[in-house]
């Protein structure tokens, strides 16, 4: 029974990480859109716009990779617990 509650906690963590992952995916898409759609009448120069977009894209990419690794690790942990549980039964 203890393992089931542990699995459900891990599944809840995965769900939260997936929600956060989707959030950063949305911002990554927005950053890429912004990169390609410079507004010439804005107060910032084209170079500043491109640099800011590149930095945002990089930050999002790093965060997405981190979240993906965390999700994979949690799935591995769940599989390991399930294997141990099936050996007991």
**Longest CA span, the chain:** 69
- Indicate the pTM of the whole model: 0.84
* pLDDT < 50 positions in the chain: none
Query: What is the CB-side half-sphere exposure of residue 71 using CA atoms within 13 A?
Result: 15
Report whether 71 contacts 12 (CB < 8 A).
Answer: no
The pLDDT, as a whole number, for residue 88 is 78
């Amino acid at each position: 029974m203890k393992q089931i509650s542990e699995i459900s906690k891990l599944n809840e963590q995965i769900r939260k990480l997936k929600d956060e992952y989707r959030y950063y995916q949305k911002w990554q898409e927005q950053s890429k859109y912004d990169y390609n759609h410079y507004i010439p009448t804005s107060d910032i120069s084209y170079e500043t716009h491109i640099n800011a977009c590149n930095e945002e894209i990089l930050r999002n990419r790093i965060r997405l990779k981190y979240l993906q690794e965390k999700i994979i690790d949690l799935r591995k942990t769940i599989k390991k617990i399930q294997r141990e549980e099936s050996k007991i039964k």
